[in-house]
Amino acid sequence: MPILIQLEEAFEKHYPKPEFQEKLNMLLQDYAGRPTPLYNAKNFSKLIGCKVYLKREDLVCGGSHKLNNALGQALLTKEMGKTRMITETAAGQHGLATAMAGNVCGLETEVFMGVKDIKRQASNVKRIKLLGAKVTPVDIGMGVLKDAVSDTLRKWTACSTTTHYLMGSTVGPHPYPEIVASFQSVIGKEIKEQILKKEGKLPDTIVACGSGGSNALGAFRPFINKKDVRLIFVEGGGESLEADNSAAAFKIGKPGVLHGSIMQVLQDENGQIKPSRTRAAGLNYPGRGPEISNLVNSGRAKAVFAFDNLVFEAAKVMCRTEGLIPALETAHAIAYMINNKEEFDKSEVVILNYSGRGDKDLESIMRYFNES
Amino acid sequence: MSLEEKFKELQIKREGAHMPHVYYGDPHEEFSLTLLETLVKNGADILEFGIPFSDPTADGPTFQRVCDRALKNGITPSKCIEGIKKLRLKGIKNPIVVTTYYNIPYAMGVDNFLDRIKKAGAQAIIVPNVPVEEADVLLTEGKKSQIQPIFQIAPTTTEDRLKKITDIASGFLYVIGVEGVTGVRESLGDSTLKLVKRVRRHTDMPLLAGFGISTRQQAAAVITAGADGAIAGSVYARIYEKNLNKPEEALPKVASLVAEIKQGCKEGYIKQN
């Protein structure tokens, strides 16, 4: 707890400072490659029957939106005078971003990863190791994301005076959800500027995938008070909504307490947290961060899901229409649009937060299509 | 017997308290009941009765395995509450402190949960993932159900928070001597002894020190430093989990260890005064 108070104070002190903002913006621009384009995807638009823009977070160095937050927190780590960062990762994107940000800022990094995820995200594990970060396998529980988070929290309690826990999503104890959402909201700020330039108006709808909620909140944040902008959050449906086969916490979970916050979470009738299941490792956190939980439960955002098989098909559709290989996580948002065209009016301007590229999923995607 | 009565009794007997920690239902209920009985018969003063949780973030590898096994073998919070009742029916009078993570009472309704453990025979509750800043519900409902929420203090706890905690705490304070999670450690660092001394300056409330305590010497040392008792948990699980098919065969070993640690608690008390 004292460490969280210290973190909150450091964030409140440094984040608003012009010097901090300048350092962060320089890194975001020159290292990460921001601003990312807002791409008018004409072929995909034709397929859906409305105007779709892709917010190209796949073009952020490293291949996903994760670096936005990692750079911010790495700078914060420096400001707090700490020398190490630890984190956990599922798809490996956040682990990779942490290793990158650590190197840029001269910080040692250690990444905890469930054994199951190490296997299915082998290419990212190689990248992380090549960058010099230590990858520590987590084999407790199910060997997936929630177990890696639990273990990183445990490790952190033993080294928090020298080490910062770089939380990768808008989850965990306060102030993490706020910090991550703030650093990711660069996505939404850019969207706003870009769409006003291109369309002269705000978008009608923003669609984003998620579990903890970092890319979605990053895109949604500047529009939360603009009630006319529809916000659609797509979670992992898994194989089916049957127990133990899904990651759709808004459909089959309920409010609970995990990793330091109250949020929508997959659990059994006794309050034991249930593992979530989806082919997209990055959507596999059993909880929805407190802010995204609140947006959905208050009706401001709509939570939907996409099943695994439709997600693979959607990835293919994106490849064939726009020549882009999406991450399986991102493919959830794509799948939802493809399978719910009637929800999108012809005159609508929709922004799909294209959160990551699919290189890491290449093998899974190829295997899926070879087998089926 | 209330915690206050127990501490008073120990003061008169001039002994430090020993509170062993057991997660109920590992590997099965029947064993847990005999284990708890064995502990009481051989030196335990207070029982820390753990209700297993799927994601025990304050626990080390031993208790993670314990929770995992207990849950796989079908333990539920309701069965645990029944277990407390069974201990009382066996005639065990020692105070029982329930330990669990917040989602368990939250899922049942905190008021309902506290009422049920009170009726079953518990006196207090430890919820390691609820800091004092978030403890309003636990405190209000605890008052209604007459279940005392026990708070934990770590080496990283600042003076400000220490004051906040001592202001609202009751029963005893759980002093976590090390930075980290539960589990057996070879040596007890200075940090534990220093922290006990630091907390002692703030309050006269009973202090029980835990995390990393597994021997008679360690128990004696924390009490000499000013604690009123010592907590040990993982070390007992490590004894019986060596043979999970016949865990009861480990009971004599458990019995002699609990007696030894209790002996350490007595020795520590004598040195302290």
Q: State pLDDT tens for residues B225-260.
A: 999 999 999 999 999 999 999 999 999 999 999 999
The pLDDT of residue B217 is above 90? yes
Mean pLDDT of B9-38: 97
- A35 phi, psi to nearest 5 deg: -70, 150
> Which residue of the set B26, B45, B59, B267 is catalytic?
B59
Per-residue confidence band for A32, with pLDDT thresholds at 50, 70 and 90: very high
Q: Which of B256, B234, B252 is nearest to B23 (CA)?
A: B234
* pLDDT value at B187 more than 70: no
State pTM to two decimals: 0.92
Contacts of A269 in chain B (CB under 8 A): 107
Query: Which residues of chain B have a CB within 8 Å of the CB of A260?
Result: 129
Smallest CA-to-CA distance from B182 within B92, B67, B270, B71 is with B67
- Is the C-alpha dihedral spanning A49, A344, A319, A53 positive or negative? positive
The pLDDT of residue A172 is above 70 = yes
Give the pLDDT of residue A356: 97
The residue written with tokens 């108006």 in the block is A201
Asked if B82 contacts B28 with a C-beta cutoff of 8 angstroms, the reply is no
Percent of chain A with pLDDT over 70: 100
Element (H, E) at A220: helix A214-220
Mean pLDDT of B178-204: 79
B230 within 8 A of B16, measured Cβ to Cβ: yes
Give the one of A1, A141, A274 whose C-beta lies nearest to B131's C-beta.
A1
Q: Are A137 and A110 in contact (CB under 8 A)?
A: no
Number of C-beta neighbours around residue B61 at 10 A: 15
Give domain A2-30+66-180's CATH architecture.
3-Layer(aba) Sandwich (3.40)
Cβ of residue A86 closer than 8 Å to a chain B Cβ: no
What was the pLDDT predicted at B15? 97
H/E stretch holding A38: strand A38-40
pLDDT at B189: 67
Lowest mean pLDDT among B5-14, B76-85, B156-165, B253-262: B156-165
Mean pLDDT throughout A272-286?
91
For the stretch A316-336, pLDDT in tens is 999 999 999 999 999 999 999
What's residue A72's pLDDT?
98
B101 touches A: beta carbon within 8 Å: yes
Residue A249 tokens, joined: 């916490």
Residue A64: DSSP 8-state: B
Query: Average pLDDT of A13-20?
Result: 97
Q: Over 80: is that where the pLDDT of A159 sits? A: yes
- For B56, nearest residue in chain A (alpha carbons): A150
Q: What is the mean pLDDT of residues A190-211?
A: 98
Q: In this model, does residue B2 exceed pLDDT 70? A: yes
Residue A1 has pLDDT above 80, yes or no: no
Inform me whether the pLDDT recorded for B116 exceeds 70. yes
Higher pLDDT, B115 or A276: B115
Helices A18-26 and A66-79 cross at an angle (nearest 10°) of 140
Residue B155: the pLDDT is 87
Is residue A371's pLDDT more than 80?
no
ipTM of the complex: 0.91
pLDDT greater than 70 at residue A200: yes
Contact call for A1 and B161, based on CB within 8 A: yes
For chain A, the average pLDDT equals: 95
State pLDDT tens for residues B145-179.
Answer: 999 999 999 988 999 999 999 999 999 999 997 76
Active site residue B59: yes
Decide: residue A268, CB within 10 A, 0-12 exposed, 13-18 middle, 19+ buried. Answer: middle
Q: Does A61 touch chain B (CB under 8 A)?
A: no
Question: Kind of pairing, strands A51-56 and A349-354?
Answer: parallel
According to the model, what pLDDT value does residue B186 have?
A: 62
pLDDT of A90: 87
Domain boundary assignment for chain B: 3-272
pLDDT cut 90: percent of chain A above it: 85
Instruction: Please report, for chain A, the start and end positions of each structural domain, with discontinuous segments joined by +.
Output: 2-30+66-180, 33-63+185-371
DSSP A124-170: HHHHHHHTT-EEEEE-STTSSHHHHHHHHHHHHHHHTTTEEE---SS
In chain A, what residues touch B71 (CB-CB under 8 Å)? Answer: 272
pLDDT at B221 over 80: yes
Q: Is a pLDDT exceeding 90 seen at residue B111?
A: yes
Least confident of A140-144, A186-190, A253-257: A140-144
Nearest to A257 among B59, B103, B108 (CB): B103
CA distances from B224 to B5, B217, B265 (A): 22, 10, 9
Q: What is the CATH number of domain A33-63+185-371?
A: 3.40.50.1100
Identify the residue with better confidence: A310 or A244: A310
Class of domain B3-272: alpha beta
At residue B220, the pLDDT reads 95
Same fold, A2-30+66-180 and A33-63+185-371: yes
Sequence length of chain A is: 372
Question: Average pLDDT, stretch A338-361?
Answer: 96
| Whether A153 and B57 lie within 8 Å, measured CB to CB | yes
Distance CA A6, CA A161 (A): 10
